[in-house]
Amino acid sequence: MTRSRLTAPRAWREAGAEAVEDRLFRALAVLRVVVLANAVALNLYRRDNFDHPTAGVLVVLGMAAWTGIAIWAFSSSARRVPLLLVLDLVIALAALASSPLVKGAGFSASVSGFWVIGALFAWAIHWRWIGGLVAATLVSATDLLIRESVTQANYANVFLIMIGGPIVGYMCGSLQRMAAERDHAERAAATAAERARLARAVHDGVLQVLSLVQRRGAEIGGEAAELGRLAGEQERDLRSLIHQQDSLAAPSRDEATDLASALERTATRRPPQASMSGPGAPVLMPAAAVEELVAVVRACLDNVARHVGPTAPAWVLLEDLGAEVVVTVRDEGPGIPDGRLDAAVTEGRLGVSESICGRIADLGGSAALHTGPSGTEWEVRVPR
């Protein structure tokens, strides 16, 4: 498996980011209405402070009108051009700057109030943290320049805006990047699934041909039989590979690995060609236990190859009983003569006893050997 970095082609990075931006602007539309209502209410409450009430009413009406236009204009990504954003901010700054004109030079609360954050957040959403920073700076500078003196409250507001603009911009950027990454991951998953489906179709075709060559080769005999044997080997390899791939797709947790596919690999890779039967679902166990069981099965199969023959048939059965797993390895060889294993131990050769019984005892399980003239069977039980 090669790991590729999350570098989405530009087209769908923008698609994912655009969906996020649409959502953010819908949320901003609500915010714009809220801050407008707030500004209208506050101006009504402090209507006595206006030097020029008519001009004040016009400014507030202008703010309301622009709020409506802005909500409509920002609702479509096609209309969110730089000119619109610049216009939005200029109007917000103008509303702010009108305060000393309509309320007198010594005003304390501006006419626009928090209404200016509509334009500020539009910049933050569209141009990320840089947009947020630039807009916040312009709003703050305007707010400070139009005042005769700066109070503690003015400073607090400016500070909040300078912090809030870039932070909101940064978060918007992060959201957009996450959306693009999610799109990429979804697409990668879909591609992988499609690739697996195609592979299955291709593999099926190849398996069909290999099976046919194997079958016909054996019937024709001679050199064709050798070709058939080779085809048979490839067929088993490929089939085992496909099984393993299927179990790769299964979820695994806690570093648990699939014993079924590990045994399948062991059973089909080396002589003797063992047939593997399993429950048809991943059998998840700690990786260390899987490693030991695979080593045990390998030792059993090596024994078959050495004592019965490299082409002798062998069978591996894996059963998942919930609380324990049972692995059986069987051959139809002449069996192990009585006392030979014990003799091997006394001769100082650990061989089968150590590699099978020792490993299983370490896992807290038990190994049983049934041997006779009709074959040998190792049955290994290991708790989960």
Partner 1 sequence: MEQPAPTRVMVVDDHPMWRDAVERDLAAAGFDVVAVAANGSEALARFPAARPQVVVLDLQIPAPNGVEVTSAVVAQDPSARVLILSASGEQADVLEAVKAGATGYLVKSASREELLEAVRRVALGDTVFTPGLAGLVLGEYRRLLDAPAPSAGTPELTERETEVLRLVAKGLSYKQIAERLVVSHRTVQNHVQNTLRKLQMHNRVELTRYAIEQGLDEE
Of residues 161 through 220, those in contact with partner 1 by CB under 8 A are 200-201, 203-205, 207-212, 214-216, 218-219
Out of 242, 256, 336, 341, name the contact with partner 1 by CB under 8 A: 242
Out of 279, 309, 310, 383, name the contact with partner 1 by CB under 8 A: 279
Question: Using CB under 8 A, which of the segments 98-106, 162-170, 311-319, 347-355 binds partner 1?
Answer: 311-319
Question: Using CB under 8 A, which of the segments 129-137, 230-238, 249-257, 339-347 binds partner 1?
Answer: 230-238
Least Å distance between CB 375 and partner 1? 9
Least Å distance between CB 291 and partner 1? 22
| Tokens 């610049």 found at | 86
User: Per rule CB under 8 A, is residue 275 in the interface with partner 1?
Assistant: yes
274's enclosing H/E stretch is strand 274-277
Classify strands 284-286 and 366-372 as parallel, antiparallel or unpaired. unpaired
User: Per rule CB under 8 A, is residue 246 in the interface with partner 1?
Assistant: yes
User: Per rule CB under 8 A, is residue 330 in the interface with partner 1?
Assistant: yes
Question: Using CB under 8 A, which of the segments 15-23, 65-73, 174-182, 310-318 binds partner 1?
Answer: 310-318
User: Per rule CB under 8 A, is residue 234 in the interface with partner 1?
Assistant: no
Which residues touch 7 (CB under 8 Å, ≥6 apart)? none
DSSP state of 115: G
Least Å distance between CB 328 and partner 1? 6
CA distance 114 to 150: 17
- Which two tokens mark 166? 């870039």
User: Between the CA of residue 303 and those of 248, 294, 299, 330, what are the distances in Å?
Assistant: 30, 14, 6, 11
- Which two tokens mark 365? 């399980």
- The torsion region of residue 322 among left (phi > 0), alpha (psi -120 to 50) and beta comes to left
Which residues touch 335 (CB under 8 Å, ≥6 apart)? 371, 372, 373, 374, 375, 376
Nearer to partner 1, 52 or 203 (CB): 203
CA distance 92 to 116: 5
Least Å distance between CB 86 and partner 1? 58
The answer to whether the CB of 300 falls within 8 A of the CB of 251 is no
Question: Using CB under 8 A, which of the segments 103-111, 160-168, 174-182, 269-277 binds partner 1?
Answer: 269-277
Helical spans, DSSP H, in the chain: 10-45, 53-74, 82-97, 99-103, 117-145, 152-220, 223-248, 259-269, 287-307, 340-346, 351-352, 359-362
Least Å distance between CB 236 and partner 1? 8
Least Å distance between CB 319 and partner 1? 6
CA distance 109 to 114: 10
Nearer to partner 1, 203 or 298 (CB): 203
CA distance 84 to 248: 52
Size of the site for partner 1 (CB under 8 A): 43
Nearer to partner 1, 176 or 268 (CB): 268
User: Per rule CB under 8 A, is residue 311 in the interface with partner 1?
Assistant: no
CA distance 257 to 255: 6
Question: Using CB under 8 A, which of the segments 17-25, 58-66, 126-134, 312-320 binds partner 1?
Answer: 312-320
The answer to whether the CB of 311 falls within 8 A of the CB of 272 is yes
Least Å distance between CB 263 and partner 1? 11
User: Per rule CB under 8 A, is residue 252 in the interface with partner 1?
Assistant: no
Out of 294, 308, 320, 335, name the contact with partner 1 by CB under 8 A: 320
Helical spans, DSSP H, in 46-81: 53-74
Out of 318, 325, 356, 357, name the contact with partner 1 by CB under 8 A: 318
CA distance 318 to 327: 5
Nearer to partner 1, 191 or 208 (CB): 208
Cα atoms found within 13 Å of the Cα of residue 186, Cβ hemisphere only = 9
DSSP state of 384: -
Nearer to partner 1, 14 or 379 (CB): 379
The residues binding partner 1 (CB under 8 A) are 200-201, 203-205, 207-212, 214-216, 218-219, 232, 235-236, 239, 242-243, 246, 275-281, 313-315, 317-322, 328, 330, 374, 377
